[in-house]
């Protein structure tokens, strides 16, 4: 997650920015992320159709958009580099504005253009979730990844139980969520409504991503143990070589002193006479 993803615009402030901006981002970046997640239930409430669900969805969109813009506005007031901050967090700005624009329309059935726009919005939001989780992609946070994966599975099961008419129990919803996230596809239960099918798409994307991160972290954990042993061996060998080099340096210093003394005595006959004879 350290190459082209850095250009997508969700990176907060630089470490050497104003101290107040750095402290504020540490407090506000997770609330901003949580507020943007309001758009997920809002999207599915729109697909359900009743007027009450549509009204709740619009409230969630407004809450997400206003919270996002408020956080970004606060950061713009504190940062020393406003244009750079906007470039680094362009994705959050776009999502906040898109959340407010999602209030327009929303009543199903959607047109082809509205389907395309709203699915693009949800795809960008899914990408934002991936970017937020990239900091967990380290071996010592494997338990956190497992906990997040389990939570996503539980939520996906509830989502299928809510959205899919053929799912009659929460256990069936969990089973369909596992089938979707693991891309198994036994076919015993399949999404049939537009809402559950769209939900299945994002369950596959997020679930498969979490499984990939988890297995990659497990592999990194084993590789990290090997690297730790390798570093230990290299450190031991370097210490041994340092001792040998120090010994060679001492020998060279003594040899240099002997050569200098011999050269001095050869130039001074009196010193040669004063030197005691060998026995």
| Domains by residue range for the chain, with CATH | 1-136 (no CATH), 137-279 (1.10.287.70)
Q: What count of other Cβ atoms lies within 10 Å of the Cβ of residue 14?
A: 16
pLDDT, residue 4, reads: 45
Q: What count of other Cβ atoms lies within 10 Å of the Cβ of residue 94?
A: 15
Contact 189, 176 (CB under 8 A): yes
pLDDT, residue 2, reads: 44
3-state SS, residue 63: helix
CA distances from 80 to 11, 18, 139 (A): 15, 6, 35
Entry pTM:
0.61
Which position has the token pair 């969109």? 61
CA–chain centroid gap for 236, Å, is 35
- pLDDT by position in tens, the chain (length 279): 444 444 556 778 888 888 999 999 989 988 999 999 999 889 888 887 778 888 999 999 999 999 999 999 999 999 998 988 998 899 999 999 999 999 988 777 888 888 889 888 988 888 888 777 765 555 556 667 777 778 888 888 888 888 888 888 888 888 888 888 887 877 788 888 888 888 888 888 877 777 777 777 777 766 765 666 677 778 788 888 888 888 888 888 888 888 887 777 666 555 555 555 544
pLDDT, residue 197, reads: 86
Give 187-190's long-range contacts (Cβ < 8 A, gap of 24+). 189/164, 190/166
Q: Which two tokens stand for residue 7?
A: 């250009």
Q: What is the CA radius of gyration of the chain?
A: 32
CA distance 110 to 74: 35
CA distance 188 to 169: 14
CA distances from 84 to 19, 37, 80, 91, 240 (A): 16, 25, 9, 13, 49
Nearest-CA neighbor of 190 among 218, 165, 225, 210? 165
Contact 101, 64 (CB under 8 A): no
DSSP 141: G
């Amino acid at each position: 997650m350290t190459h082209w993803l850095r250009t997508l615009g969700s990176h907060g402030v630089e470490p050497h920015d104003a101290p107040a901006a750095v402290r504020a981002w540490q407090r506000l970046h997770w609330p901003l992320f949580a507020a943007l997640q309001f758009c997920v239930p809002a999207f599915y409430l729109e697909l359900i159709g009743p007027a009450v669900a549509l009204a709740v969805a619009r409230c969630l969109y407004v809450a997400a958009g206003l919270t996002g813009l408020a956080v970004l506005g606060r950061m713009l007031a504190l940062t020393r580099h406003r244009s750079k901050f906007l470039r680094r967090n362009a994705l959050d700005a776009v999502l906040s504005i898109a959340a407010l624009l999602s209030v327009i329309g929303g009543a199903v059935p959607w047109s082809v253009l509205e389907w395309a726009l709203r699915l693009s919005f949800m795809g960008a939001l899914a990408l934002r979730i991936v970017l937020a989780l990239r900091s967990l992609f380290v071996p010592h946070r494997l338990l956190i990844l497992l906990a997040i994966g389990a939570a996503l599975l539980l939520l996906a099961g509830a989502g299928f139980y809510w959205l899919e008419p053929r799912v009659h129990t929460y256990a069936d919803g969990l089973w369909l969520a596992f089938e979707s996230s693991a891309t198994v596809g036994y076919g015993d239960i399949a999404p049939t409504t537009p809402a559950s099918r769209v939900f299945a798409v994002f369950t596959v994307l997020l679930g498969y991503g979490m499984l990939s991160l988890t297995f990659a972290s497990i592999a990194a954990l084993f590789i990290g143990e090997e690297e730790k042993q390798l570093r230990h061996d290299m450190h031991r060998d370097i210490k041994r070589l340092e001792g040998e080099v120090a010994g060679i340096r001492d020998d060279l210093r003594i040899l240099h002193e002997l050569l200098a003394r011999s050269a001095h005595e050869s130039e001074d006959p009196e010193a040669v006479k004063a030197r005691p004879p060998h026995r």
